[in-house]
Amino acid sequence: MNFDAIKSECLAANLSLPQSGLVDLTFGNVSVADPERRVFAIKPSGVAYEKLTVDDIVVLDYEGNVLEGDLRPSSDMATHRCLLLNFHGIRSVVHTHSRAAVAFAQAGLDLPCLGTTHADYFHGHVPVTRAMTPAEIAGDYEWETGQVIVERFANIHPLAIPAVLVRNHGPFTWGPSSNKALETALALEIIADMVIKTLTINPQAISTPTHLLDKHFSRKHGPNAYYGQV
């Protein structure tokens, strides 16, 4: 079985993380899946981006078995696997510790929708998860992190809000391609920075009205989208 396509896409996506300014040190990873074959590629754990090669990329099946690669996969692998299994329509997951988004995760607050920049990417507030229990942390921690995200999205469509803030941890984003998941991660960080500045200027700033939120989201998403070129 040939995995060259997802390995190459995964490598390119991971190499773009430090260039985007979304990560410090090795605090970030991208996975790219082939849902039909139920396999995914992911960055190896702790390898510096400047040393990363396509041969370092680890390929696993959806059960978590390593199919190709000699290095240990990212320590967040099980979280990626959980999201790929549960969020249908996605084939890439991005995790970073981008600073503004992490600030909301550490504060335990949803990222509120205060303007149309947010509404262009997310159809509502970006949710924060509940705190994980001692048992969840002591057990299969990374898998349980994914389960807490899935639990938080019980009444949220993951393609309408393709991002989450894991309490005390940081953001995960996802999408139909690594480029889209990375764009969403960058948009999330920009929006979080905007919200921090907005609330500094006016702590009483209110959420975007629903009719404006719906208009901006539907311009770019769904059957009636008309933003951009055909």
Residues 109, 166: contact at Cβ < 8 Å? no
Catalytic residue chosen out of the listed positions 24, 55, 140, 227? 227
Is 226 known to be catalytic?
no
In order along its 230 residues, the chain shows pLDDT tens digits of 799 999 999 999 999 998 888 887 778 899 999 999 999 999 999 888 889 999 999 999 999 999 999 999 999 999 999 999 999 999 999 999 999 999 999 999 999 999 999 999 999 999 999 999 999 999 999 999 999 999 999 999 999 999 999 999 999 999 999 999 999 999 999 999 999 999 999 999 888 888 988 787 777 777 777 777 66
SS3 173: strand
- Reading the block at residue 153, the tokens are 């999205």
- Reading the block at residue 164, the tokens are 């989450």
Catalytic residue chosen out of the listed positions 120, 141, 193, 214? 120
**Domain 4-220 in CATH 3.40.225.10:** yes
For residues 210 and 126, what is the distance between their CA atoms, to the nearest angstrom?
15
Is 120 known to be catalytic?
yes
Domain ranges across the chain: 4-220
SS3 214: helix
